Structure 1
Amino acid sequence: MSCSSSSGSEDDDEGFDSYRKGGYHAVRVGDQFAGGRYIAQRKLGWGQFSTVWLAYDTTTSAYVALKIQKSAAQFVQAALHEIDVLSSIVDGAISDSKFVVQLIDHFKHTGPNGQHQCMVLEFLGDSLLRLVKYNRYKGLPMNKVREMCKCILIGLDYLHREHGIIHTDLKLENVLLASTIDPAKDPVRSGISPILERPEGNINGTVTSLIEKKLKRRARRAVAKISGQRASMGGMGEAPKPGRNIDGIDVRCKVVDFGNACWADKQFAEEIQTRQYRAPEVILQAGYSFSVDMWSFACIAFELATGDMLFTPKVGQGFSEDEDHLALMMELLGKMPRKVVATAGAKSKDFFDRHGDLKRIRRLKFWPLNKILIDRYKFSESDALEFSEFLSPLLDFAPEKRPTAQQCLEHPWLMDKDCS
């Protein structure tokens, strides 16, 4: 999948109701774009704002990811913003070695539902979320985790230091492997010839396939329900499957999806980041800078190494998701320093009393990172110590104390690990 969140999703489908004025553009295999330069091959994914297609570039004889935005004004605006950010970081060979997705081209395409802004991006493989799922939510081997961390950090250092850009939505879905996990799904490695003209009988492919999918999904649910009843009658659950062998998978990866990115000196939104990867200063509305990406990066690194999210807050009786999130952070990191609470931001008084304790969640159980890694994830003491020494500084409540991407790249845990 060559894009995510505002670009491509791992979920079922986008629903055919959205193919209307202001919505998605219905694409058929073999459709041509930009005066015939790009030819649609198959759908890679979809998001709230767009659908993403594998396309063949007839000019360069290469496969690309074609992102077609919905046509309503707010989506056009969002696409223009993303094009603006991506164009500013395109620097030929330099940005290619910086593990950040490359924008190849952009143009407008007029269809029955309006005018759609289109972006042509390099074709990449599966997301790190897909990799974690493929590995059945087991922790990935630490040599692979190191390699992926190094790629992401090179990308962040390039964005932060050389371009003054904050990504603001770093998560597993927004980091893509350079190639697909399954070679058969890679258009080059699979050796399949490109589709150059529309196959016969493909009248309204997108909408028809969505209706078929819906019917198939209903049938699957019915079957699952019946088998679920059988399993519960037998009282036997399925044994947990071991992780798959991922030794042969190339884990070099690139940071993608700049739909929410901003320049540090030109910020647009107060509430940024996907919930589980959100930094404390964002929850407290205390302003933010590059260090929010570093917090999210630490959450990603933990997830790759364990298969679990670091923080999964929930709404509870008498407290909000925000407050639960802060409580989970304090159980892992200890009490938030008084100074940070006092200067934290507009929402501090909503959550904390004058002693720096949470108002509505009282009994916190402190369980530090290295102990979690040993007790819950069965890390050896030395591995747990090394990994938590790398991660803990990134999870500092004081944003200015978090190491930069450049400093992380010099950390002993990453040294002598290749990512070229």
Structure 2
Amino acid sequence: MALSRTSARPRSIPSRRSLAFIVSWRAPTPLRPLFSTPIQPSQHRNLPTDWPTHSCDVDAEQLHHYCKGGYHPVHLGDSLNNGRYKILHKLGWGGYSTVWAARDTRNQTFVAIKIWVSEPTHNSRELTALRAIVTARSNRPGYQYLMTMQDYFQIHGPNGTHDYIITERLGPSVANFLDGYSGSVRLPGRLAKTIAKQTLSSLSFLHEHKIAHADLHTRNLAFTLPTSHEQDLLQKLGEPETAPVRQTDRQPLEPNQPIYFVRPTAYPINPKTPLYLNQTHRLRPSTLYIPLYYRAPEILFNNTLNHRVDLWSMGCVLFELITGQPPFDTFLITPPILVSQMLEMSGDTLPDCWQKQWYAINSKQLSDDEDRSFQSWLEQDLSKEDIIRVGALVGSMIRLEPSARASVNTVLQDAWFQAS
């Protein structure tokens, strides 16, 4: 396949801005401001839908989620797990968790701490996957690029019992890096190739151990960070910005609510640090929260899912790394438009089992417009042979029939990745 997008709307050149510090787990709703997609409505069954309004000068999680079954209130300087971990800064938040930078006083290292809401959710699936990775500890290629769990404990707080997952602290996401790299819209070819190879290697390790990632995209890939002293870390993270929380009805805050919010930190990028895979899931996931434009067609058609959803996503990741933009439109995308683009991109015929459903939902036609200068733009630092080879690799993974997709190892062993 040729490396050309199916949409007439190429992603605009992003302005240079401060980059968000990526956390190492995916929450069911995207984290803000770590991710550019808007926060989605909470899916907690027991959290209130009517709440007193509040105001705060810091954009953060909703105050009404600090309730029974909800978030655990955390403040800067708090000590956790018998004083072992000291809270230094906030990294992000999502619909089911908050994530914090902390100092491990026992090992004199810096870690990331994810604190789940106390209401039972699917966090047990994440915990199972992280434990499986620890159990599978190996010298095999790919393991060194995986985010691993360093500690786990529970805390009983005013809103219930909360799971705490400790991992190494990670840096910015690849998506943030793509947005901010020298004001350009794509990475240099050699760097993009290195990131792709590391991602394939770690994905191969997961699949060998019967674990599917199931949420693979550039916002769930993160760079590691060099070790540093606490003052050096805080200097890089910046002084925590806090703002008091006020309820507009002038009622006092509840004891189970934080007295202030902390703005999630930003972190400078370092293109030389190795890449780690983000959140993992067991094989055959039943519910996925991957962005629409990264979803494999079997997800859109509510088909049985297996590890091959990762192969489709990896094809999309490879395309975005090389070109700087996703293979499918991200602006006002709908499932019918996306399926049309999939058909055009892959050159496949829709499998018979999906035909009836497709005719039921197909209501839009895809524009044939195309950016004619796309290939010449890529050729600034990629040879024509590189472009052709990457196009073939993307095409081998973006196949509508899951069983027809090239495996991770097949792609990883391709001569293009084996070449220095």
In which range does the TM-score fall when normalised by the shorter chain?
0.7 to 0.9
Does residue 1:102 correspond to 2:143, yes or no?
Answer: no
1:42: which partner in 2?
89
Larger radius of gyration: 1
Instruction: Give the counterpart letter for 2:63 in structure 1.
Output: F
Does residue 1:349 correspond to 2:356, yes or no?
Answer: yes
1:143: which partner in 2?
190
2:118: which partner in 1?
71
For structure 2, the residue ranges without an aligned partner over 5 or more in a row are 1-21, 36-58, 247-256
Is contact 1:331-1:367 (8 Å) kept?
A: no
Q: Residues 297-376 of structure 1 correspond to what in structure 2 (within 5 A)?
A: 297-312=314-329, 321-334=334-347, 336-337=348-349, 340-344=350-354, 348-352=355-359, 359-362=362-365, 365=368, 373-374=374-375
Give the helix-richer structure, 1 or 2. Answer: 1
Residue 41 of structure 1 and its aligned partner are, at CA, apart by 1.0
Is contact 2:212-2:282 (8 Å) kept?
A: yes
Q: Tell me which of 304, 308, 314 is aligned to 1:291.
A: 308
Deviation track 1:188-208 (CA, whole Å, cap 9, x = no partner) reads 4973589xxxx9x99999945
Please report the RMSD computed on the Cα atoms of aligned residues, expressed in angstroms. Answer: 3.4
Does residue 1:410 correspond to 2:420, yes or no?
Answer: no
Is contact 1:306-1:377 (8 Å) kept?
A: yes
Residue 65 of structure 1 and its aligned partner are, at CA, apart by 0.7
Is contact 2:351-2:401 (8 Å) kept?
A: no
1:263: which partner in 2?
283
Instruction: Give the counterpart letter for 1:263 in structure 2.
Output: L
- Counterpart CA distance in 2 for 1:374 and 1:125 is 32
2:132: which partner in 1?
88
SS in 1 for 2:126: helix
Instruction: Give the counterpart letter for 2:175 in structure 1.
Output: L
SS in 1 for 2:75: coil
Residue 61 of structure 1 and its aligned partner are, at CA, apart by 1.3
- Counterpart CA distance in 1 for 2:273 and 2:319 is 16
Q: Residues 124-139 of structure 1 correspond to what in structure 2 (within 5 A)?
A: 124-135=170-181, 136=183, 138-139=185-186
- Counterpart CA distance in 2 for 1:329 and 1:156 is 23
- Counterpart CA distance in 2 for 1:190 and 1:397 is 51
- Counterpart CA distance in 2 for 1:93 and 1:64 is 22
Specify which structure has the bigger relative contact order, considering alpha-carbon pairs within 8 angstroms and separated by 6 or more residues. Answer: 2
SS in 2 for 1:332: helix
What TM-score do you get using the length of structure 1 for normalisation?
0.73
SS in 1 for 2:417: coil
For structure 1, the residue ranges without an aligned partner over 5 or more in a row are 181-185, 215-244
SS in 1 for 2:61: coil
Is contact 2:154-2:164 (8 Å) kept?
A: yes
SS in 2 for 1:120: strand
Instruction: Give the counterpart letter for 1:253 in structure 2.
Output: L
Q: Tell me which of 144, 158, 174 is aligned to 2:205.
A: 158
- Counterpart CA distance in 2 for 1:54 and 1:189 is 11
Does residue 1:279 correspond to 2:302, yes or no?
Answer: no
Is contact 1:341-1:352 (8 Å) kept?
A: no
